[in-house]
Structures are given as C-alpha cells and as structure tokens.
Structure 1
Amino acid sequence: MAKLLNTSATNFVLENLISKARKHVVLISPYLKLNKRIKKLVEDAILRGVSFHIVYGKQELQEGEKNWLLSSTRIKLFFCDDLHAKCYLNEAYSIISSMNLYEFSQVNNYEMSILLSKKDDTDAYVDSVKEAERLIRMGQEQYQIPVLTETETETKTPLTPTYQQTTAQEQSRQTLKQPDSTKISTNLLASKYKTNAQRLLVSLRASGFISTENGRDELTEKSMDIGAELHESSAGHYFLWPADLNLHTMLSN
C-alpha cells in the first residue's frame, strides 16, 4: 500500500532505496547537488554492480558535481529541459516526491512524498517506471569531453575501476603481450597525456571512436581506421592504440 512520507522519512527511504538496490537506480530531480552521504551510497552501490540513470533539468549543475557524476561508466547523466518532476526508484520501490535531490532542499525544506511498492502498488509503480523511462528518452545524455594537454595535471580519481584501469604490474604484462610493439594500451595512452583511462574513454565515446553494446565497450570503424585493436585476455578485453597517435588532432576531427 502506498505510504505518505515527510521530509525526514523521504531522506531515510531514499537512502535505503539506493543502498538496497540490486541492479539499477533512477534519480530524477530538476535541481541536483548530492550530499556526501548520498555520494557514498552511490559509490557503494556501483561497487555492487548497480547502474544509475540520473536526470536533471537546471543548467546550474556545478562543474565539480558534473565531473563526479561522469567519472563512472555506471552513471548515465541526462539533461531534460523544462523538467519539474522528482522521482526516485529502483527495481522494487518508487518515490514520487516534491523534494529535489539537492542538499539544501533535503535539510531546510518541508517536503512530502509518496512511496510505491512494486509488490503492493504494481500498477502505480509500473506507471512511474514508464514515465521515468520517457523522461530519460527525452533527455540529452551528458558527456565530459576533457581538454587534453601535454602539461595537464590530473588529480581526479574515478568512482570505480574498469577493465581499462589495471595495476602498473598488469599494464606491464599487457605491454609484453602486445603483438605489435607500436601499439599501446588505453592506460599508457592516457598517461602520455597526463590524464586517466576513464576520462579518456568518455572522450573517445563522445567522439565516436568507441560504442557501447550491452554494457560492453567496442571499437568502431572510425577507431579501427586509425589502427586501434581489440584484444581479449583472461581478465576481459582491452584496446590497443597506435603509440604515435595525436589525440588533439584525433578528437578535434
């Protein structure tokens, strides 16, 4: 049965919705500024394999907030113009709320929400999922395309490691295995430009050099035309790139 939540109850249930998610979480909020506790719950959920679709509707999203959200491949961020709805859901529960996912709102405002259960409020829950999916389709996916310079100092740490982000020892083993000594891994290419593999991969996806199929990154014809290669290993698959690749020219084309 649907339940009415006040401000404190909304925050409590929202945290549980994220912490108990098994597969996916959708967060829809016009204004977006996550507090430290929510960020930690998101990070923990990502480590469990949970994916996030986050929709916001105000351009005032701070650069630091956007960078954090885009630092994990398990978070997809969308901008939806004229968004006013607030909805938070996982595979079992949905919260329809007046509360923005904004630190100030969560602490200072008087809010009211309705909690729906997939088990007990099936029709209403399914309708909320369908509407959330519609807003995601309407939204414009956000990408972070970094400006890569030879002197840039990289201090950003991604939320979670990917198959591209291995230890230095594993990088060395991959280098030894390379059939072509003129090719280097994504990690080594990123290091050459003083950035990290995660940030570079985001840029490569946005520029059309990598596509994502069923959660797996694949090379496109565009990247294979410049000599990129895909290789399989016991730990998964990885990419090799020409060692003399000029990223500045490549990403500007």
Structure 2
Amino acid sequence: MAKLLNTSATNFVLENLISKARKHVVLISPYLKLNKRIKKLIEDAILRGVSFHIVYGKQELHADEKSWLLSSTKIKLFFCDDLHAKCYLNEAYSIISSMNLYEFSQVHNYEMSILLSKKDDNDAYTDSVKEAERLIRMGQEQYQIPVLTETESPAYPLTHQQSVVVKHVGRAIKQEENGKISTNLLASKYKTNAQRLLVSLRASGFISTENGRDELTEKSMDIGAEFHESSAGHYFLWPADLNLHTMLSN
C-alpha cells in the first residue's frame, strides 16, 4: 500500500532505496546537489554493480559535481529541459516527491512524498518507471570534457581503433611530423583516455556511427581530420595543434 512520507522520512527511505538496490537506481531531480552521505551510498552501490541514471534540468551543475557524477561508467547523467518532476526509484520501490535531491531542500524545506512498492502498488509503480524512462529518453546525455592538463601518455585499455594505430607506430609518428596525430596520441596530450575522447567527439558531432562503425563528419573534416584505412582496420588523424577544449565546447 502507498505510504505518505514527510521530509525526514523521505530522506530515510531515499537512502534505503539506494543502499538496498541490487540492479539499478533512477534519480530524477530538477535541482541537483548531492550531500556527502548520498555520494557515499552511490559509491557503495556502484561497487555492488548497481547502475545509475540521473536526470536534472534547472541549472548547470557545479564543475566538481558534474565531474564526480561522470567519473564512473556506472552513472549516466542526463539534462532534461523544463523538468519539474522529482522521482527516485530502484527495482523494488519508487518515491514520487516534492523534494529536490539538493542539500538545502533535504534539510530546510517541508516536503511530502508518496512511496510506492512494486509488490503492493504494481500498477502505479510500473507507471512511474515508464514515465522515468520517458524522461531519460527526452534528456540529453552529458559527457565529460577532457581536462586540459598535458601529461605523460596514460595507461588505459585501447579500443580496436587505437590498437590499429599502435600496430602502425612508424606511420603514426611520421603523420605527427606532418602535423597530424592519431586519436590515441591526441588523447595522450590531455588527462583523459581515448575511449572517453571518442565519446566526446561523437557527442559534439565530430564522429557519427553508421552500422556500428565510426565515421568522420563534415564538421571534423572541416578542421582537418582525416580518415585512413589499412588491412588491419581504420583510424583517424587529427591536426596536432588542435585546441581540444575549444573544439568540444563549440
């Protein structure tokens, strides 16, 4: 049976919803600023293999907050225009609330929430899941922009595309001398990895995916990117003097 929760009860049940999740958690809150306790619960849940979909929509997140949220591959972050709904759910319970997942609201505001159980309130719970999924589909997924700190080449697993470049090291070095570098070498100039860089390039419209294969767009070719193919596969080359931060921010 559905239960009415006040502010303190909402916080208590929300923490339990995260700590007892076994598969997934969805957090939908227009204003988003996580307190230390919620962050710790999320970190612990991720260690158990729980995945998170988080939707916000009223203002740009603080850089540190966004960086923390995007630091784990188990968290997918979405921005949804005109979002006003607040909903928190896992595979067993759903909280429909007036409370934003925001430190000030959780402490100072008077809030009311309804707790739904998949077992006892299946129809309403299922409807809340469907609406949450719709908001996620409407949202724009957020990506981490690589940090502009030059560093030594980091150790990270290579995608097939980068492994192809490594097999052609001599050619890659020669292309670097000609003012073009591989995706792998471009990523190594910044404090990021090649896989995350490729995600940012796709999100910014520099790479499109057709039939599971990455292709350069006109936008990337306009800045001097090149497509190359060999018997081992295909790879991209980029201008060595490319300003990655400016490129991905436009």
What TM-score results when the alignment is normalised by the length of structure 1? 0.71
For the pair 1:165 / 2:165, whether they are aligned, the reply is: no
Residue-pair matches, total: 223
Tell me the equivalent position of 1:104. Answer: 104
Tell me the equivalent position of 1:195. Answer: 191
1:1-253 superposed matches below 5 A: 1-146=1-146, 148=148, 152=149, 165=156, 178-181=166-169, 182=171, 190-191=187-188, 193-197=189-193, 199-207=196-204, 209=207, 220-222=214-216, 226-227=227-228, 246=240, 248=242
Secondary structure of the corresponding residue to residue 46 of structure 1: helix
Distance, in Å, in 2 between the alignment partners of 1:60 and 1:129 is: 25
The answer to whether the 8 A contact 1:145-1:202 is kept is no
Residues 186-229 of structure 1, C-alpha deviations (whole Å, 9 max, x = no match): 776533x1312165344234245476x9xxxx651339x63489
The answer to whether the 8 A contact 1:185-1:240 is kept is no
The answer to whether the 8 A contact 2:70-2:144 is kept is yes
Amino acid at match of 2:227: I
Tell me the equivalent position of 1:158. Answer: none
Identity of aligned pairs, percent? 74
The answer to whether the 8 A contact 2:186-2:238 is kept is no
Distance, in Å, in 1 between the alignment partners of 2:24 and 2:137 is: 16
The alpha-carbon distance between structure 1 residues 19 and 247, as it changes in their structure 2 partners (threshold 3 A), is farther
Distance, in Å, in 2 between the alignment partners of 1:93 and 1:185 is: 47
Q: How far did residue 14 of structure 1 move? A: 1.0
The alpha-carbon distance between structure 1 residues 126 and 85, as it changes in their structure 2 partners (threshold 3 A), is same
The answer to whether the 8 A contact 1:165-1:187 is kept is no
List 4+ stretches of structure 1 deviating above 4 A: 182-189, 239-245, 249-253
Q: Structure 1, unaligned stretches of length 5 or more?
A: 155-163, 232-238
Q: How far did residue 11 of structure 1 move? A: 1.2
Amino acid at match of 2:240: N
Distance, in Å, in 2 between the alignment partners of 1:247 and 1:68 is: 29
The answer to whether the 8 A contact 2:227-2:234 is kept is no
Q: How far did residue 44 of structure 1 move? A: 2.2
Q: Name the larger-Rg structure.
A: 2
Distance, in Å, in 1 between the alignment partners of 2:191 and 2:184 is: 9
The answer to whether the 8 A contact 1:18-1:42 is kept is yes
Secondary structure of the corresponding residue to residue 104 of structure 1: helix
RMSD of the TM alignment (CA)?
Answer: 3.8
Amino acid at match of 1:165: Y
The alpha-carbon distance between structure 1 residues 185 and 15, as it changes in their structure 2 partners (threshold 3 A), is farther
Amino acid at match of 2:201: L
Q: How far did residue 242 of structure 1 move? A: 6.6
The answer to whether the 8 A contact 1:190-1:196 is kept is yes
Q: Structure 2, unaligned stretches of length 5 or more?
A: 173-180, 218-225
